[in-house]
A = this chain, B = another copy of it.
């Protein structure tokens, strides 16, 4: 195993976002075993199972693809919030030691205790807010046909995130053989698997747009859904900061450009509410999606310059990271053109806001400690969201 340390400052100097480079490096080759950030986030190390010269070549090649003048512009800070004292409280270690988190490895976690209580309380408050604004609730499939995922842009924008899913081929003799060879310790998975026809959705809202196909609405529409999202993150998974599977609450707007702008302002206000109520440090910034390498310049730069994507980034004192706990995305007519739906007769402008529930809960617990009493801030959040007092979010500490 060889390791190469990359300095964040040097990457920034070359106009490359170090966070993005670290992510992309995980997909350079199957020999990349992982990417590890140093505690102060000033550098990261790439672990490589091969020759040093090979790794150098891969890094040079990735640098060359990303070093473009148009990328030299970073995100714009729209709003930020500092906190006088940010002690490291060791919330992650406390959750693991206390049994609230059960690590299945590879970014797949089980959890309960104060983490699940907080996830449910936050989701309850966000659901309450959405319903109060007239959103329609939806439960949507997690497996989508590949052709739909392609039309949704996933193949083009984030192919690295996608998990394909396939059962065994429906053939009695083959399944029996699989079963008996499995009992002997040697299941022939690769050869017995059918060709994949589905993939796991990478965002909660993706299935909404196809369901609107062919519809026209006389007025703006809001939808809300919560789902487990799945993104292959190669070696980048880490504590609750980056998971392969995570829960996301989304609210989707469909209307026109002016309505999408108003929705955007309300989303920024919700981000601010969350930061203030939980006394978090962080910022709301313009951002770009984790487009795969070639798409990074093609789409990411336009996104960054337009402000079509905003992220609410919260500080995690115990790791030094700043993590995106929520994001707003303005799609313009990307989905309404692809799936042919209109509002008041015109191609709909759509936008969505997504809240990463485990990340948001983790940012709060990392700020206040895994055992903190959060009933006060949760009540304050319900007030800001104008929720009826008796309607305590399900799962709020003390409510169950």
Q: Which residues of A contact B (CB under 8 A)?
A: 24, 26-30, 32, 58, 61-62, 102, 104-106, 108-112, 116, 119, 124, 127, 131, 136-146, 148, 150, 155-156, 159-172, 175-176, 178-180, 182-183, 187, 189-190, 193, 195-198, 200, 207, 210-211, 228, 230, 232, 234, 244-245, 247, 292-295, 390-391, 394-395, 399-400
**Majority DSSP secondary structure for residues of A touching B:** mixed
| Distance of A301 from chain B, by nearest CB (Å) | 17
Cβ–Cβ contact B164 & A193, under 8 A = yes
Set of chain B residues within 8 Å of A58, measured between Cβ atoms: 172
The answer for the CA separation of A148 and B110 in the assembled complex, in Å, is 14
Cβ–Cβ contact B179 & A156, under 8 A = yes
Who on chain B is nearest to A29 by CB?
B171
> Given B141, B172, B200, B395, which contacts A27 in the complex, CB threshold below 8 Å?
B172
Cβ–Cβ contact B176 & A294, under 8 A = yes
| Distance of A242 from chain B, by nearest CB (Å) | 15
Known A-B contacts A141-B245, A170-B27; A195 and B190 likewise in contact (beta carbons under 8 Å): yes
Cβ–Cβ contact B176 & A293, under 8 A = yes
| Distance of A31 from chain B, by nearest CB (Å) | 9
Can you list 5 pairs linking A and B with CB atoms under 8 Å apart? A104-B145, A108-B141, A110-B207, A139-B247, A156-B179
Identical copies in the complex? 2
| Distance of A60 from chain B, by nearest CB (Å) | 12
Cβ–Cβ contact A165 & B163, under 8 A = yes
Who on chain B is nearest to A102 by CB?
B211
Cβ–Cβ contact B159 & A182, under 8 A = yes
| Distance of A355 from chain B, by nearest CB (Å) | 15
Set of chain B residues within 8 Å of A156, measured between Cβ atoms: 179, 182-183
Cβ–Cβ contact A166 & B164, under 8 A = yes
Cβ–Cβ contact B144 & A189, under 8 A = no
Cβ–Cβ contact B245 & A143, under 8 A = yes
Set of chain B residues within 8 Å of A144, measured between Cβ atoms: 104, 108
| Distance of A315 from chain B, by nearest CB (Å) | 25
The answer for the CA separation of A106 and B143 in the assembled complex, in Å, is 10
Cβ–Cβ contact B196 & A182, under 8 A = no
Set of chain B residues within 8 Å of A108, measured between Cβ atoms: 141, 143-144, 198
> Given B211, B232, B294, which contacts A167 in the complex, CB threshold below 8 Å?
B232
> Given B26, B162, B178, B400, which contacts A170 in the complex, CB threshold below 8 Å?
B26
The answer for the CA separation of A252 and B292 in the assembled complex, in Å, is 42
The answer for the CA separation of A115 and B150 in the assembled complex, in Å, is 29
Cβ–Cβ contact A179 & B159, under 8 A = yes
Known A-B contacts A110-B139, A142-B228; A179 and B155 likewise in contact (beta carbons under 8 Å): yes
| Distance of A246 from chain B, by nearest CB (Å) | 10
Known A-B contacts A169-B30, A170-B29, A390-B390; A179 and B295 likewise in contact (beta carbons under 8 Å): yes
